[in-house]
Amino acid sequence: MTNLPASDADVVAGAAPYKVEARATGRTNATIYDIAKLAGVNPSTVSRALSKPGRVSAGTRKLIEEAAAELNYQVNPFARALPTGRTNTLGLIVADITNPTFFGTIRGAESTAAFRDYSLILAESAESPDQELAAAQRMLASVDGLILASPRMDDDHIRDLAKEKPVVVVNRDVQGIACVVPDVNKGIGEAIRHLAGHGHKKIVFISGPTASWMSSQRWSGIQQACEWSRIEAVKIESDSPTVKGGRVTARLIVGSGASAVIAYNDLLAIGLMQELQAAAYAVPDQISIIGFDDIFGADFTTPGLTTVRAPMENCGIEAATVLLRTLKEPGETPSTRYIDTELVVRGSSGRLL
């Protein structure tokens, strides 16, 4: 149900206006006066109990809470924002809502917000910088702060948004903005050493979208690790980080002469594996495949997918925690927090020797 702003009569003793659904009266537009009548207290007491519960006795607060529960009392965060400027709502924008990579980020942010009595509004950009910026601008009026997960818009637009409301970025490093970033170097180093230990001499990296900052970070990390291990590294472009995108790259992978592949994400890796197996290529006997992120279902493939695990749920938790702290104590200098990645070895990699 969509709650509309309460009337001026709902504001008592400086309290925020609220909406309730009143089962007892059958009304859908009840006010704090209904709670006061049922609890047998003054409306101003209800106001204090709802906005500043520490200002009323425990017994009175219990009466009011019981009355509110009987009336199926629901806070209207947008009405509450009228006097306070706060909606107790956070916004989260992801690059692709269908990509399991973001499930952990969403869960971590939502659970952290809910624990602090905040709601979370979700939107996606469909990998489009323009759609992402438009979604963020629409959200600004109704949220207290924004979390941008793998944003595709440029740094200047992100900094402009941060001038309006607090912003935290996940999976990307933006100067002057609070960021939470998986440190890919540890996981990549483990992946390259794993492949080198099996005698692989040439590796292909299937890149992610052109606008993906993380794709360039992963490619840079792979180049450095391969140089150290004296392994040749080449890149194949793919602007579709999906299972279908992975299938499309299969012919290019076979033509490259590489014996191992590291894909930008698990969806690409799974699509590549499916296409190669359909063409009777054995994984990992003829080619090793490693993905990124360790999404739900990465171990459902045959063989199970080796992947560099990025703890995205932890990133969501950290991002929401930072954003909520910023709302409570503004003025903290933005910084970047790094979270370690790790290689999870399954059956899709190895063999050569």
Report the alpha-carbon distance of residue 60 to residue 58 in Å, rounded: 6
The structure's pTM equals: 0.75
In angstroms, how far is CA 54 from the centroid of its own chain?
A: 34
Q: What is the 3-state secondary structure (H, E, C) of 177-230?
A: CEEEEEEHHHHHHHHHHHHHHCCCCEEEEECCCCCCHHHHHHHHHHHHHHHHHC
pLDDT in tens, 137-192: 999 989 999 999 999 999 999 999 999 999 999 999 999 999 999 999 999 999 99
Q: How confident is the model at residue 45 (pLDDT cuts 50, 70, 90)?
A: confident
Amino acid letter for position 241: P
Q: Select the more confidently predicted residue: 2 or 64.
A: 64
The predicted model gives 3-29 an average pLDDT of 38
pLDDT confidence of residue 67: 84
Q: End-to-end alpha-carbon separation of the chain, Å?
A: 62
CATH numbers and ranges of domains, the chain: 8-84 (1.10.260.40), 89-180+312-338 (3.40.50.2300), 183-310 (3.40.50.2300)
pLDDT in tens, 59-98: 888 888 888 888 877 666 555 554 556 789 999 999 999 9
Nearest to 181 by CA among 315, 31, 328: 315
By mean pLDDT, which of 81-85, 107-111, 306-310 is the weakest? Answer: 81-85
